[in-house]
Amino acid sequence: MRGPKQSMGQMERASAQPASAQPVGTPKGDSELPHILVGVTHDQTCLILAGRLRALREAGFRVTLVSSPGPQLKQIATRENVQCVELRMERGISPFRDCISLWKLFRLLCRLKPDVTEFSTPKAGLLGTLAARMAGIRRRVYLLRGLRMETTTGLKGHLLLLAEKLAASSAHSVLCNSESLRNECLRLAVAHEPKLLMLRNGSSNGVDGERFSPGPSDLRWKLGIPERVVVIGFVGRLTCDKGIPELIEGFDAALDEAPDTYLLLVGWFDESDDPLSEELQERITNHPRIVCTGFVQDTAPYYKTMDLLILPSRREGFPNAALEAASSGIPVIATFATGARDAVVPGLTGILIPKRSPAAICAASLELIRDKKRRLRMGQEARRWALQYFSDSDVLEATTDFYRSLVDADATTECVTEPVVSMR
């Protein structure tokens, strides 16, 4: 169930590798196309770029994907038919290694000279936008997928906020992927209002309504879950910031009143970022009513096994899992956390609850467990809402239009921006 680990020797050998890897699946004769470089910190984040990279390429861009080494980097690059470059970046604070990564990014950008850069995730966002500014890249975009400092206190919290401000100041535009995230950035003065943008209704990728759709599944049988029980689902990394401690407490409380209920955790124990305690991991592993899949590359079939999804996050940008569940025709219970609250229409597509509240998780779960008609009605409305406002074709069209406007803008003008449009 645990995510893949590397030994110290493997990490040292990887960090000693040259900054660039062999291009993967790059069409010939595209050197004259406008070049966009997309960077993230960890290779598993590349999974959420599927579709986005292909859309940029099909819109006439030459695309290069940069992340730390890992299997998902090359798999996604091959699938999306884009170049990829391995460049190690630490997810945590590591001044010495961060300086090395910054220097390697600077050298890479000086060599490739992309027309546009898009960096996202905290470390890549900071180092990438700084390196792009140092290298004189004319169009620099910071795609903000959430604020890590929202759940961090003390000196570390101040440092993380400073890092966000530095990344934003080094970018021409900061794309926020939800309305509440943009509002939180304004409140924290991460950047001035004109720089903080949201394309259409938010979300970075939207949702594929054909791939994520209602329908039968035989996964319950394969996972050892009885057919007639109610299955509560969760999809994502198993960390504290995702609200897993509260979810387990709330689920156990709900079991007292609804014993024919299972919890399906589609995700892995992420040891590198805000990990769960060993005691809680063991509790999850040995729980008779909890099924944990470990890392899953294709989550679409798993939504078909669920009756509802719970997203008890303490912070988000815009949760893909909530959109995928909604498109799959199941209601979503989410918190009022930044980003998460944009992914549910309360009372119509799901229920919003306070953060860090096992009691609220229990109560909301029991509401939907006991009322099948309401669950089904909410699921139908959720799918209708997701496809109306967040279809991947619409979201990706807005993305490619935005980047095309940057390339087409006169070189002497500032970045062209799109107006913020609310879905409310």
Asked if the model's pLDDT at residue 414 lies above 90, the reply is: no
Asked if the model's pLDDT at residue 258 lies above 80, the reply is: yes
Residue 419 lies in a domain: no
Verify that 197 and 132 share a domain, yes or no: yes
Reference 62, options 31, 24, 21, 84; nearest CA is 31
What one-letter code names the amino acid at 310? I
Residue 414 lies in a domain: no
Residue 212 lies in a domain: no
Verify that 367 and 396 share a domain, yes or no: no
Verify that 231 and 375 share a domain, yes or no: yes
Average pLDDT over residues 26-55: 87
Verify that 18 and 29 share a domain, yes or no: yes
* Dihedral sign (CA 78, 84, 86, 91): negative
Q: From CA 387, how far away is CA 399, in angstroms rounded? A: 17
List the CATH number of the domain containing 93: 3.40.50.2000
Asked if the model's pLDDT at residue 147 lies above 70, the reply is: yes
Which pLDDT does position 411 carry in this prediction? 47
Verify that 376 and 235 share a domain, yes or no: yes
Verify that 134 and 75 share a domain, yes or no: yes
Partner residues linked to 389 by β-bridges: none
Q: From CA 34, how far away is CA 57, in angstroms rounded? A: 10
Q: From CA 200, how far away is CA 88, in angstroms rounded? A: 33
Give the pLDDT band (50/70/90) at residue 107: very high
Asked if the model's pLDDT at residue 26 lies above 80, the reply is: no
Verify that 335 and 365 share a domain, yes or no: yes
Residue 421 lies in a domain: no
Residue 415 lies in a domain: no
Which pLDDT does position 413 carry in this prediction? 53
End-to-end CA distance of the chain: 39
Phi, psi of 8, rounded to the nearest 5 degrees: -60, -40
| Tens-place pLDDT, residues 262-293 | 999 999 999 877 899 999 999 999 999 999 99
The verdict on pTM exceeding 0.85 is yes
Give, to the nearest 10 degrees, the angle between helix 358-370 and helix 372-390: 110
Verify that 189 and 318 share a domain, yes or no: no
Verify that 374 and 404 share a domain, yes or no: no
Token pair in block for residue 16: 């000693």
Asked whether 164 and 190 are in contact (CB, 8 A), the reply is: yes
Verify that 91 and 235 share a domain, yes or no: no
Residue 416 lies in a domain: no
Which pLDDT does position 246 carry in this prediction? 98
Task: Name the strand (E) or helix (H) holding 128.
Answer: helix 122-134
Chain center to CA of 364 = 25
* DSSP-based three-state secondary structure for 140: strand
Asked whether 304 and 328 are in contact (CB, 8 A), the reply is: yes
Alpha carbons within 13 angstroms on the beta-carbon side of residue 422 total 7
Verify that 123 and 165 share a domain, yes or no: yes
User: Where in the sequence is the domain holding 319, given as residue range(s)?
Assistant: 219-389
Token pair in block for residue 234: 């969760």
Which pLDDT does position 29 carry in this prediction? 52
Which pLDDT does position 297 carry in this prediction? 87
Determine what percent of the chain is predicted with pLDDT higher than 70: 89
Q: What is the mean pLDDT of the chain?
A: 90
Asked if the model's pLDDT at residue 27 lies above 80, the reply is: no
Determine what percent of the chain is predicted with pLDDT higher than 90: 84
Helices (H), 215-299: 219-223, 244-257, 278-286
Average pLDDT over residues 367-389: 98
| Sheet-wide strand order for 116-120 | 83-86, 62-67, 35-39, 116-120, 139-144, 173-176, 196-197
Between 302 and 413, residue with greater pLDDT: 302
| Tens-place pLDDT, residues 284-324 | 999 999 999 999 989 999 999 999 999 999 999 999 999 99
Which pLDDT does position 282 carry in this prediction? 97
Asked if the model's pLDDT at residue 416 lies above 70, the reply is: no
Verify that 144 and 258 share a domain, yes or no: no
Total of domains in the chain: 2
Give the pLDDT band (50/70/90) at residue 214: very high
Residue 418 lies in a domain: no
Residue 2 lies in a domain: no
Which pLDDT does position 420 carry in this prediction? 40
- The answer for residues whose C-beta is within 8 angstroms of residue 357's C-beta and 6 or more apart is 246, 250
